[in-house]
Amino acid sequence: MNAPTSHDHLVPVITPRTIPAAFMEALKQRFADNCSTAQIVREHHGRDESAFTAVPPPVAVVFAQSSHDVADAVALAAQHHVPVIPFGVGSSLEGHLLAVQGGISIDVGRMNKILSINADDLTVTVQAGVTRKQLNDEIKSTGLFFPIDPGADATIGGMCATRASGTNAVRYGTMRENVLALEVVTSSGQVIRTGSRAKKSSAGYDLTRLMVGSEGTLGVITEITLRLYPLPEAVLAAVCSFPSIEAAVRTTISTIQMGVPIARVELIDANAVRMVNAYAKLGLAESPMLLMEFHGSPNGVKEQAETVQEIANDNGGQSFEWATTPEERTRLWTARHNAYYAGIQSKPGCRAISTDTCVPISRLADCLLDSVAEADASGIPYFLVGHVGDGNFHFGYLIDPNNAQERETAETLNHQLVQRALRLEGTCTGEHGIGLHKMDFLVSEAGEAAVDMMRTIKRALDPHNIMNPGKIFSY
Amino acid sequence: MNAPTSHDHLVPVITPRTIPAAFMEALKQRFADNCSTAQIVREHHGRDESAFTAVPPPVAVVFAQSSHDVADAVALAAQHHVPVIPFGVGSSLEGHLLAVQGGISIDVGRMNKILSINADDLTVTVQAGVTRKQLNDEIKSTGLFFPIDPGADATIGGMCATRASGTNAVRYGTMRENVLALEVVTSSGQVIRTGSRAKKSSAGYDLTRLMVGSEGTLGVITEITLRLYPLPEAVLAAVCSFPSIEAAVRTTISTIQMGVPIARVELIDANAVRMVNAYAKLGLAESPMLLMEFHGSPNGVKEQAETVQEIANDNGGQSFEWATTPEERTRLWTARHNAYYAGIQSKPGCRAISTDTCVPISRLADCLLDSVAEADASGIPYFLVGHVGDGNFHFGYLIDPNNAQERETAETLNHQLVQRALRLEGTCTGEHGIGLHKMDFLVSEAGEAAVDMMRTIKRALDPHNIMNPGKIFSY
């Protein structure tokens, strides 16, 4: 199968495989009511938050209750060479869930138990269907928290699969740094564990990190052991408006280069502020702003915040405002997390094409400002938000999915942005993954030889190409 | 090939392969004076710091000057199915460098250039033969440093290969967290890059972390892009003696559980202090002690240190002493880093069998104290040092390598320790790797199915089994 070319990025290549009747019978027999073939259920599981045109949905959805269920479903699929697509809450953004080669969806959403909290070790083990908010609710009494927060209330399994991160990654790292070990169902339906609860290990190949970011193409993640962190003694949030995006970006770059251990530093452009104001009636000043958060001791956060306030002032930052109560902080961060939905709401019937480049911090202004100029010139409505402390930002180009011209324009903007990020030694995806959408970009970024190495690993571990086939690279 | 059984751990199974004359001729022709077959050079490259009995050394040593040299040497080896063993400074501890299947050594020690310092991005790119001390010397003027410090002045390439860490890992992580990207020569002699300079990425499989810790069995690491950190504004070191190992360990556990961002917390038992005193005439109090270091703002380090001092006092800690000048700090840390050599010197002609278990912090006292009791009862002289903030510690059992009884006793102690660590959800190796020595332990720890997955990856990426064969697992 060939990868889609850059000009039909949002029209998936579909190469469905024959699903043997014997497979469907065996599946129904094994899973009974936990296997659905209802059209609406299948359609719900055959799409994600991306702007891809619809493809035929999976032929069935298995609602797994346990790792054993997942293993049995995969073993059956392996026997009949049927594709398997793991499903969490469906919040992925690059077409990961589309059944481009047919097959079944395995929904792990009912595997939502916290299996063990080891507060003394700052670790927790959860089933793959636990969502990040559920996790933080259930561990609240321990005084610990799990920091990784992609915008959506994604499942921990899905966050592992895409190597997700979010607003706190600048301080706490991404899923790459915060997964200690996994339980994984392999392509033959075998259950393996990839690590222990030790904080570090040199015991053989790092299967944990091979699985993190593999987007369901090497196995189905069923359990995850995560690192937790003590809730900081003091938390201080601040918001600061800037006369230009450049001023906000320069403030961020200096903050990072000075080594301030800032916990969050998020850029929201004037468009995004306007959309969020309309969506949630917030009354924020409609200019580019940075949302920041500092974690530490009471003195420590004060020191950090004062340093950043000085940097912001030097860059023309206005009205540095503090949010000290949990309620004020929640209001600010809810605004940030709602930016995507606020963007969608701002143009009825639209879909967002979300970019996801990430560049070294010294290249951030170069990468971002030229891309803003291009987006402004295009006439496509957009918003811009970013985990700028990591050099990662997202344009959301708001397009009418039925308007080929708009799609093409947005794809061209994205293409130019990615090429620019790669020239600046960055990556085409900081946290969303490759999915269907960025397969060409992966080749540009990593080179044919490195993608060949990935393909060799895939073929060795999934010889019948049943694990979320057609994603990341052509088989 | 079968893995060695647990009772002949220090007597390697040797299965040398035939080296074609045509290969040797081609190698000499390509590398001329940069290829040595002198006995003394070969012997130097055929051993490491482990206590293994000598095996026949590699048939030749190639001194690579460039990635191109490495690629050519591996391509030749691939053509003739000749094993290839990468060599840095020879400081590994688990038999990684022994030519158990014959073949050649590729010494990357002359590839010792810093290729680019990107101070604004807190990254540096180096050749594999740069050592950690050289790196920190050469970047001193930038105000940045690289924190990972295994005892030896190892090469960065070697540190990647074993997923090394050291005293600062409790704060800054291990090689796993601090390598951004690699250049690697594959088993066919192709050169690939595994990542960009972006701080995070979701672009395909994490080849970087697959290579980190692969011990030369998947490719030869030739270039490394690393994360750097701003030198802390303030550094405070302290040493505290304790009435017992348990008191020191309890202090450590509480410090970590309270979330103090301590930069170093090292245990040195009374034996080790005695040996270090004799080796370097230091006059330290000969009781168990913690060496600590705090990094941050002047106020921040004071806060951290006061918190830990209180915890230490609660646990009977005596004479909490500060080292505020760089000279005093260097003196303390040199003592710590010399512990291994001081141990070896304490018993003429001995070798050290170094253990390397790592357990969740809540299990540290259980794991450590029972093992101390066993070591004391055995009559084998030993020292104990540990990166206890990570739950990682090393017994150095000092044995006469020609005394089968002592070797057996030390191996039995190590075996019991590893079994205990695994029961406590830990790992057989926190930072030294598997090599030849821990192949059985890896199976106990990861399970046959996970080791099979590693083997499947190895076979796919190295179909002729030429990359450091016979290490980590049987092929």
Torsion of CA A440, A444, A446, A447, to 10 degrees: 100
Query: B454 — contact with chain A (CB < 8 Å)?
Result: yes
Q: φ, ψ for residue A413 (rounded to 5)?
A: -60, -45
Query: B403 — contact with chain A (CB < 8 Å)?
Result: no
Q: CA-CA distance, B228 to B121, in Å (whole number)? A: 8
Chain B, residues 202-231, CB within 8 A of chain A, namely 202-207, 209-210, 212-214, 218, 229-230
For the ranges A1-15, A337-351, B169-183, B437-451, which has the lowest average pLDDT? A1-15
Report the DSSP pairing between strands A104-107 and A60-63. parallel
Alpha carbon of residue B308 to chain centroid: 28
Residues 6+ apart with CB under 8 A from B41: B61
A16 touches A102 (CB < 8 A)? yes
Three-class SS of B232-282: CCEEEEEEEECCCHHHHHHHHHHHHHCCCCCCEEEEECHHHHHHHHHHHCC
Q: φ, ψ for residue B434 (rounded to 5)?
A: -90, -50
Q: What is the CA radius of gyration of chain B?
A: 22
Across the interface, do A360 and B202 touch by the CB < 8 Å criterion? no
The one-letter code for the residue type at A17 is R
**For residue B8, what pLDDT is reported?**
62
Can B6-110 and B114-230 be said to share one CATH topology?
A: no
**For residue A8, what pLDDT is reported?**
61
Across the interface, do A201 and B358 touch by the CB < 8 Å criterion? yes
Query: B418 — contact with chain A (CB < 8 Å)?
Result: no
Please give the share of chain B, as a percent, with pLDDT higher than 70.
Answer: 98
- In a 10 Å sphere around its CB, with 0-12 CB exposed, 13-18 middle and 19+ buried, how is residue A348 labelled? exposed
CATH 3.30.70.890 fits B114-230, yes or no: no
Superfamily of domain B234-423: FAD-linked oxidases, C-terminal domain (3.40.462.10)
Residues of B in contact with A471 (CB under 8 A): none
**Run of H or E including A441:** helix A439-446
Q: CA-CA distance, A176 to B195, in Å (whole number)? A: 14
Residues of B in contact with A430 (CB under 8 A): 198, 200-202
Q: CA-CA distance, A335 to A385, in Å (whole number)? A: 11
Task: Please state, as a whole number, how many other Cβ atoms lie within 10 Å of the Cβ of residue B347.
Answer: 14
Query: B197 — contact with chain A (CB < 8 Å)?
Result: yes
Closest CA–CA distance from residue A457 to any residue of chain B (Å): 6
Q: CA-CA distance, B55 to B2, in Å (whole number)? A: 17
**For residue A3, what pLDDT is reported?**
39
The β-bridge partners of A220 are A185
B101 touches B46 (CB < 8 A)? no
- In a 10 Å sphere around its CB, with 0-12 CB exposed, 13-18 middle and 19+ buried, how is residue A362 labelled? buried
B144-154 pLDDT, tens digit each: 999 999 989 99
What is the layout of strands, in order, in the sheet containing A84-87?
Answer: A35-36, A60-63, A104-107, A84-87
Across the interface, do A193 and B459 touch by the CB < 8 Å criterion? no
- In a 10 Å sphere around its CB, with 0-12 CB exposed, 13-18 middle and 19+ buried, how is residue A349 labelled? exposed
B92 touches B135 (CB < 8 A)? no
Across the interface, do B361 and A473 touch by the CB < 8 Å criterion? no
**Average pLDDT score over residue span B26-51:** 97
**Run of H or E including B296:** strand B289-296
**Average pLDDT score over residue span B266-270:** 96
Across A208-275, where does the E strand assignment appear? 220-227, 229-230, 234-241, 264-268
**For residue A320, what pLDDT is reported?**
83
Across the interface, do A446 and B203 touch by the CB < 8 Å criterion? yes
The beta-carbon neighbor of A201 closest among B200, B297, B430 is B430
Q: CA-CA distance, A68 to B330, in Å (whole number)? A: 54
Q: CA-CA distance, B41 to B370, in Å (whole number)? A: 43
Across the interface, do B358 and A390 touch by the CB < 8 Å criterion? no
Q: φ, ψ for residue B37 (rounded to 5)?
A: -120, 15
Query: A16 — contact with chain B (CB < 8 Å)?
Result: no
**For residue B151, what pLDDT is reported?**
86
DSSP string, B376-391: HHH---EEEEEEGGGT
Across the interface, do B123 and A472 touch by the CB < 8 Å criterion? no
Torsion of CA B388, B393, B398, B404, to 10 degrees: 160
Across the interface, do A426 and B453 touch by the CB < 8 Å criterion? no
Q: pLDDT tens per residue, chain A (475 residues)?
A: 333 444 567 889 999 999 999 999 999 999 999 999 999 999 999 999 998 988 999 999 999 999 999 999 999 999 999 999 999 999 999 999 999 999 999 999 999 999 999 999 999 999 999 999 999 999 999 999 999 999 899 999 999 999 999 999 999 999 999 999 999 999 999 999 999 999 999 999 999 999 999 999 999 999 999 999 999 999 999 999 999 999 999 999 999 989 899 999 999 999 999 999 999 888 888 999 999 999 999 999 999 999 999 999 999 998 788 887 888 888 888 888 889 899 999 999 999 999 999 999 999 999 999 999 999 999 999 999 999 999 999 999 999 988 999 999 999 999 999 999 999 999 999 999 999 999 999 999 999 999 999 999 999 999 999 999 999 999 9
Q: CA-CA distance, A413 to A395, in Å (whole number)? A: 10
DSSP state, B139?
Answer: T
Which of B297, B231, B294 shows the shortest CA–CA distance to B261? B294
Residues of B in contact with A232 (CB under 8 A): 259
Query: How many CB pairs (< 8 A) connect A and B?
Result: 283
Across the interface, do A203 and B442 touch by the CB < 8 Å criterion? yes
The beta-carbon neighbor of B445 closest among A203, A390, A449 is A203
Query: B258 — contact with chain A (CB < 8 Å)?
Result: yes
**For residue B5, what pLDDT is reported?**
43
Residues of B in contact with A177 (CB under 8 A): 173, 177
Domain boundaries, chain A: 6-110, 114-230, 234-423
Provide CATH code, domain B6-110: 3.30.43.10
Residues 6+ apart with CB under 8 A from B274: B286, B346
Token pair recorded at residue A370: 């030229």
Query: A171 — contact with chain B (CB < 8 Å)?
Result: no
Across the interface, do B198 and A174 touch by the CB < 8 Å criterion? no
What sign for the dihedral angle of Cα B44, B45, B47, B50?
positive
- Residue of A200, A356, A427 for testing the chain B interface, max B β-carbons within 10 Å: A200
Across the interface, do A123 and B360 touch by the CB < 8 Å criterion? yes
Higher-pLDDT residue of A93 and B327 is: A93
B124 touches A360 (CB < 8 A)? no
Closest CA–CA distance from residue A49 to any residue of chain B (Å): 17
The one-letter code for the residue type at B2 is N
Give the residue on A whose Cα is nearest the Cα of B124. Answer: A360
Q: CA-CA distance, B229 to B144, in Å (whole number)? A: 5
Closest CA–CA distance from residue A462 to any residue of chain B (Å): 10
Residues of A in contact with B173 (CB under 8 A): 177, 200
Residues of A in contact with B441 (CB under 8 A): 203
- Residue of A94, A199, A210, A252 for testing the chain B interface, max B β-carbons within 10 Å: A199
When mean pLDDT is compared over A48-52, B103-107, B329-333, the highest value belongs to B103-107
Q: CA-CA distance, A454 to A334, in Å (whole number)? A: 38
Looking at the predicted complex, does its ipTM rise above 0.90?
yes
A120-176 pLDDT, tens digit each: 999 999 999 999 999 999 999 999 999 999 989 999 999 999 999 999 999 999 999
Count of H-run helices and E-run strands, chain B: 17, 18
pLDDT higher than 50, residue B3:
no
Which of A211, A219, A162, A152 shows the shortest CA–CA distance to A190? A219
The β-bridge partners of B234 are B296
Residues of B in contact with A390 (CB under 8 A): 199-200
Q: CA-CA distance, B96 to B207, in Å (whole number)? A: 21
CA angle B338, B341, B347 (to 5 degrees): 135
Which of B414, B424, B272 shows the shortest CA–CA distance to B356? B414
Give the residue on B whose Cα is nearest the Cα of A187. Answer: B453
The beta-carbon neighbor of A162 closest among B121, B202, B431 is B202
If phi > 0 it is left, if psi is from -120 to 50 it is alpha, else beta; for residue A151 that is alpha
The beta-carbon neighbor of A449 closest among B190, B202, B434 is B190
